Copies of this chain bind each other. A is one copy, B any other.
Amino acid sequence: MTSNLKERLMPIAGKLREFEEHFNRSLGGHAGLIGEMAAHILDAPGKRIRPAMYLLSSGACPGGRDIEATPVYAAVAIELIHTATLLHDDVNDGARERRGRPAAGQLWGNLAAVLMGDHLFAKAFRILVDGGDQRVLETVSEASERVAVGELLQVQETRNFEVTEQDYLRIIGNKTASLFSAACEAGALTNGNDAERERFRDFGEFVGLGFQIADDLLDYLGDVAQTGKPSGTDLKSGNITLPLIYALQNAGDDGRHRVMEAVAQPAVNGFGEVVEFVRVNGGFDYARRRAAEYRKKALDLLSGLSESSYRLALEEVVNHSVDRQA
């Protein structure tokens, strides 16, 4: 996290601590295998982007003056669903590391990792039900449906070199932008402002799209020391993302065929060749441009809001999500 972002998040620092306490509590109370896996999860917390966006959206929307009254449970549920998704993503696709440490499936087996994901998913719904706000339940349950659909579409398009940018946007919109969108929408709902639902839903969607394009760029160009994830993971599992999609469309047949062979047999040399292919054919520049467009769309939606420390922080989160090193 950059020091700039950290500073901007100061207005929600107390609430983020409250979130952490509630999140930890939601994973507690079990001994044995469940307790061990929960400890493994808590030991490497994520960046908590979704909870931050939830809280900031609550504060930034018109009528939101003080976020002290904003309940954190919806953010906890969304982060639990996100965590469950990470556990399931790792199944069988060769993922060995997650946040710089061995993936849960490597330590306890695929089955245990899957069931722990189910546990978190069920816990998330339990928390939402106990919260008792029908609109929040609708928002988050719709998003979690989208997540699974997006993930399945991604599996469907594995190693499909004909996959289009439109397919790609449908995949990342469902698998990633859905939860960003739900976090912002649920945040806006806390101030009882139904009219702002749409603005914050769309805002979260754009940030999520920009975030995932940036993530997919990092998979090609990122530094493992910073991302905690070795480069080329997507390619190894046959996940064709925007930089390569663009490059494949703009390359000659010769280059296409060589890259398709390299992807079929992913090795260290093969990956270098693909990176060069994407670079020469403008795939990285194009993906950066598309990410910047989503950043602009997101920022434009914020410009209609009155100035506040929450709005400033949201702007910083947008910039950080789209133009990041890890």
Q: CB within 8 Å of B: which residues of A?
A: 30, 32-34, 37, 85, 88, 91-93, 108-112, 114-119, 121-123, 125-126, 129-130, 132, 134, 137-138, 141-142, 144-145, 147-149, 151-153, 155-156
Contact = CB atoms under 8 A, between A and B. Distances in A.
Nearest to A33: B156
Given A33-B152, A88-B115, A138-B129, A147 B121 contact: no
Contact of A118 (B88, B111, B112, B115): B88
Among A118, A138, A151, max chain B CB count under 10 A is at A118
Contacts of A93: 111
A110 B91 contact: yes
Contacts of A129: 134, 137-138, 141
A115 B151 contact: yes
Contacts of A147: 118, 122
Contact of A119 (B30, B91, B148): B148
Given A32-B156, A132-B134, A152-B34, A142 B115 contact: no
A122 B141 contact: yes
A141 B125 contact: yes
Interface residues of chain A: helix, strand, loop or mixed (majority)? helix
A155 B109 CA distance: 10
Given A32-B156, A110-B91, A144 B125 contact: yes
A85 B156 CA distance: 22
Nearest to A237: B111
A75 B125 CA distance: 18
A301 to B, nearest CB: 26
A118 B121 contact: yes
Contacts of A144: 122, 125
A5 to B, nearest CB: 31
Contacts of A137: 129, 137
A109 B159 CA distance: 15
Contacts of A108: 155
Nearest to A88: B114
